[in-house]
Chain A
Amino acid sequence: MRTPSTDQVAVERPVRWDHPLDREMLTRDIRWMLKTPPFSEMNADVFPSHGSLEDLIRHDCRILRYEPGDIVVREGDYGGSAYLVLRGSVRAFLESLWQPRGKPSDSSNPSQWLEWIYQRFHPNRSSIGPKTSGNRRGRSRNGSQLANADKNRSIPVQQVDIADGKNRIFLQDIDAVIDGFESEPLGMGQIFGEMAAITRSQHRYTVVAETPTVILEIRWQGLRMMRRDKSFREYLDNRFRVTSLQTHLRETPLLRFLDDAAMAIVLEQTIIESLGEREWFSDYRDSQKLDVQTQIAKEPVIAAEGQAVKDLILIRAGFARLSFEQGLGHQTIAYLGRGHVFGLSELAHRFRNPSSKPLPYQESLRALGFVDILRIPGKIVLSHILPKTRSSELPKPIATPRYTSDGLVVSSALPRSSLGNVVSAEETLSKLETSLVEFLVDERLINGKQTMMIDLDRCTGCDECLKACATTHQGTPRFVRNGPQFGPLLFAHACMHCADPVCMIGCPTGAIARDQDSGVISIDPQTCIGCKTCSESCPYDNIVMIQVRDKQGRSAVDRNTQLPILQASKCDMCHALKTGPACQNACPHQALIRIDTSETGPLEQWIAARSLT
């Protein structure tokens, strides 16, 4: 056996479950849970010996206790665990209790900004704690206080208390909140939060304890392993589909004027459909080597241009390419994400002109990676939805269609987006240069929530950004000032904190996780075992493996094999700094920004602003 040199230190190689979720989990609790549904109904034989069901409960679960009114999960927070009710009951609120946190939605409204600034400087003036900012209070999702006042119901107020040394956030007067807002009771044996955990996304609803409740938290690594059991997997999948369908339809602005009867019909008729692979990154690297048109041809078609409009398509999760045929290829004109609709222009045209021939789809829609869509049948849209939609919210009429029922119109009009006004994105999308949209889609930069973008018309290569990053992270920068380039825009190899963080899929220890509040994805060095799963999954090469070093700078090696101990390293948005990402603050030329490229709006605003300065 080799002995470590003087600049090395021998350590025990970290392994999975070195850091269980709950160190205080008792064996008798585990035995009791194994006798309780759904665990008692699981087939223990499907689990391997090195990861038995008992092991999963011991290491990937923890028992949480709540008093009536305590908030278990909060809408808008990112999910990383599923919750199983062991005792008592909880309420899942089907409608939004507060406006999402963050800056005012309408940035041009000075009064909203004043209120936001006031709340930032006077957090104690509201009765909520430090992690629950005040602008949630008394506001509905669309920012209107009148909406609540009209319904004459109490506005949920969050309170903070300390119990057993931990902050406890609860809703004041829970009974009044339950009376005022539509909610669903969940009792013993029922699971919630699994949707956000599986899709690595935000919780769509708030769950509050109704009675003294005992809940088992199952972190998603464990939940994924438990899906080996067929009946449990089917239960989760079914629940996932039903819950997500309901939640999404209720949140769709187009459907907000529907009464309960019409909504029930829509719910019954809507089909939920998934296209592409959840683990799309494995094929993506290979397909990137192909030419663009072959790549597009391989993408699953959701709707093809020229075909009769059967459904209105709502994007529930993931991204889709909006394109039309151009010569021998396809020209991409936009990418659609969560909340966007497709086919509304054509259906609105038919609604406005019932006597004329219906128009087919004017563009094609293709799945990029993995996409969840909802299909609402066209006849239901025409009979139940469009009659109750304000005419001002309908898309503009199609004056010069590209396709009619007779086929392609020769010398048809220029690209036209079929996005309706309901998503208020038509103008925004059309303003971005087509080639830039194509570039963002081809490079899958549409996944980035905090993409590092460098304006090469300003960057002098002074490396202040890298120096600042290295200073913040013990001498090792967390990004490379290089990457895909479009004109003067360089998209550097820095973690984009993706809308769909595929790096999280395979992590066996839960070391890589998304912060519930900020959405930042970071790696916990204590629990990372250096298995490389995340770095190999990242389609953008934004995670690198580095050698672990101790405080004296000695590199760590395995005590037994003398091989280096590695750890995944990536941008963490400098979450330890109050000033935000050091790279952006350190750029003396305002060349580097972190920008949300999952929507076209921020990029378009930035380009417009940059052209003026």
Chain B
Amino acid sequence: MIPEAQSQSRSSLLTATLMRFGFARIASRSVPAAIVLVAWLILRSMRNRSAASMQNEAFVTGYSLATVCLLLMLLGLRKRWVGAPLGPLAIWQRSHHYLGVFCVGAYGLHAGMITTGWFESALAILFWAIAVSGIVGWYVNRTSPRLLRAAGAQVLRQDIPERTTLVATQAYELALESAGNNHSAALADHYRNRLSRYFATGRGWLYRLSPSGSHRRRLLSELENVDRYLGDEGRTLRRKMSQLVQSKDDLDFQSAIQNRMRFWASAHAWLLGSFLVFAVVHVVVAHRFTSAW
């Protein structure tokens, strides 16, 4: 390909990419990211200048870090200030994410990757736990809505126990209906042996941590195998039972995903509270035992 054509092709590819993802979309992500980078470079320069002038550079980075931590906390306060003319919460949330990234960078400048002493180590562990919980929470928030939607119409978290009980009752009644008939008695047996526990109880901690469809698939497969012992009437009932197994699994899935999102949000907030207590002690100790700024 001649260079001119190559260049044209590259520019058209760039234009197509920009058009596809949208200028606004790219700008909305790249501009704040650039601001975070510039802020970090400024902080690093301030730290280096402070070190060069024989001052304690930890105070520059430490107080910057403390300021950023306080700013990060503002999101929680903003949620409580309903009606105050402070802009949409979505903007605060997004700013919180970018500030969080900056906070990790500032922490790197302040404490480095390795800390010594039990108190400082505990503080470091708390900091990284907050950072990890924040990142996981962000990821979970980004991915969970689509997972929830894949499991049928969204069910409100508070409605899930009621719906689960309803499905279990329907399954029990279906088993009762099939019990008195030779054409479908095998279904009642199968319900007693394999399904009653599934309908009556919640899922294990492993499922709650990482919900998957393997158990449901196994149960459905087992149910299909019962068909050979059923008449036409029994098969109809079996299909209804399969639908109920699917419904129960969907509800369990909705519950697990919604609880997972809440867990990470709560964990992030609780860890932040603990971190603040440690951080205040850290500041007092630093001032007490450090000779000069």
Give chain A's interface residues, CB within 8 Å of chain B: 456-462, 464, 467-468, 471-472, 481-482, 485, 488, 490, 574, 576-579, 582, 584-591, 612-613
Contact = CB atoms under 8 A, between A and B. Distances in A.
Contact of A456 (B89, B92, B149): B149
Classify chain B: how many residues form its interface, as a range.
Answer: 20 to 34
A70 to B, nearest CB: 34
Contacts, number: 76
B22 A612 contact: yes
Contact of A464 (B28, B89, B157, B258): B89
Contacts of B261: 460-462
B156 A482 contact: yes
B85 A579 contact: yes
Interface stretch (B2-10, B76-84, B178-186, B199-207): B76-84
A587 B89 contact: yes
A488 B149 contact: yes
A468 B21 contact: no
A491 B25 CA distance: 26
B277 to A, nearest CB: 26
Given A586-B89, A589-B141, A613 B82 contact: no
Interface in B78-105: 79, 82-85, 87-90, 92-93
- Max chain B Cβ within 10 angstroms of own Cβ: one of A460, A462, A467, A485: A460
Contacts of B144: 460
B82 A459 contact: no
A579 B83 contact: yes
Given A588-B93, A590-B90, A613-B24, A461 B156 contact: yes
Given A464-B79, A472-B83, A612-B24, A585 B154 contact: no
B154 A490 contact: yes
A612 B83 contact: no
B25 A613 contact: yes
Contacts of A576: 83
A461 B156 CA distance: 8
Contacts of A482: 156
23 contacts: A461-B156, A461-B157, A462-B261, A467-B82, A472-B83, A485-B154, A488-B149, A576-B83, A579-B83, A579-B85, A582-B82, A585-B82, A586-B79, A587-B88, A587-B89, A588-B90, A588-B93, A589-B93, A591-B145, A612-B21, A612-B24, A612-B25, A613-B28
A48 B145 CA distance: 57
Closest CB pairs A-B (n = 9): A612-B22, A588-B93, A471-B82, A577-B83, A590-B90, A468-B82, A588-B89, A585-B88, A460-B141
A457 B258 CA distance: 14
Contacts of B141: 460, 589
Contacts of A586: 79, 82, 89
A459 B89 contact: no
A460 B24 contact: no
Interface in B155-171: 156-157
Contacts of A459: 145, 154
Contacts of A457: 145-146, 149
B177 to A, nearest CB: 27
B68 interface: no
Given A460-B144, A579-B83, A582-B82, A613 B22 contact: yes
B28 A589 contact: no
A464 B88 CA distance: 12
Interface of B: 21-22, 24-25, 28, 79, 82-85, 87-90, 92-93, 141, 144-146, 148-149, 153-154, 156-157, 258, 261-262, 265
A205 to B, nearest CB: 36
B211 to A, nearest CB: 15
- Max chain A Cβ within 10 angstroms of own Cβ: one of B88, B93, B262: B88
A591 B156 CA distance: 16
B156 A481 contact: yes
B90 A456 contact: no
Nearest to B159: A482
Contacts of A590: 88, 90
Nearest to B87: A585
Nearest to B156: A482
Contacts of A472: 82-83
- Max chain A Cβ within 10 angstroms of own Cβ: one of B84, B154, B265: B154
A432 to B, nearest CB: 20
B154 A589 contact: no
Nearest to B75: A588
A464 B258 CA distance: 14
Contacts of A588: 89-90, 92-93
A584 B83 CA distance: 11
A460 B145 CA distance: 6
A585 B25 contact: no
Contacts of B82: 467-468, 471-472, 582, 585-586
Given A471-B82, A472-B82, A613-B28, A461 B89 contact: no
B92 to A, nearest CB: 8
A245 B88 CA distance: 44
Contacts of A468: 82
A457 B154 CA distance: 11
Nearest to A612: B22
Contacts of B148: 456, 461
Given A461-B258, A587-B89, A588-B89, A574 B83 contact: yes
Contacts of B83: 471-472, 574, 576-577, 579, 582
Contacts of B21: 612
A467 B78 CA distance: 13
B134 to A, nearest CB: 13
- Max chain B Cβ within 10 angstroms of own Cβ: one of A574, A578, A588, A612: A588
Contacts of A587: 88-90
Nearest to A487: B149
Contacts of B85: 578-579
A610 to B, nearest CB: 11
B17 to A, nearest CB: 13
A265 B156 CA distance: 59
Contacts of A612: 21-22, 24-25
Nearest to B79: A464
Contact of B89 (A481, A485, A578, A585): A585
Nearest to A488: B149
A461 B154 contact: yes
A589 B88 CA distance: 10
Nearest to A588: B93
Given A460-B261, A488-B149, A584 B88 contact: yes
Nearest to A480: B156
Contacts of B25: 612-613
B79 A456 contact: no
A456 B145 CA distance: 6
Given A461-B157, A462-B265, A587-B88, 11 more contacts: A456-B148, A464-B89, A471-B83, A578-B85, A582-B83, A585-B87, A588-B89, A588-B93, A589-B93, A590-B88, A612-B24
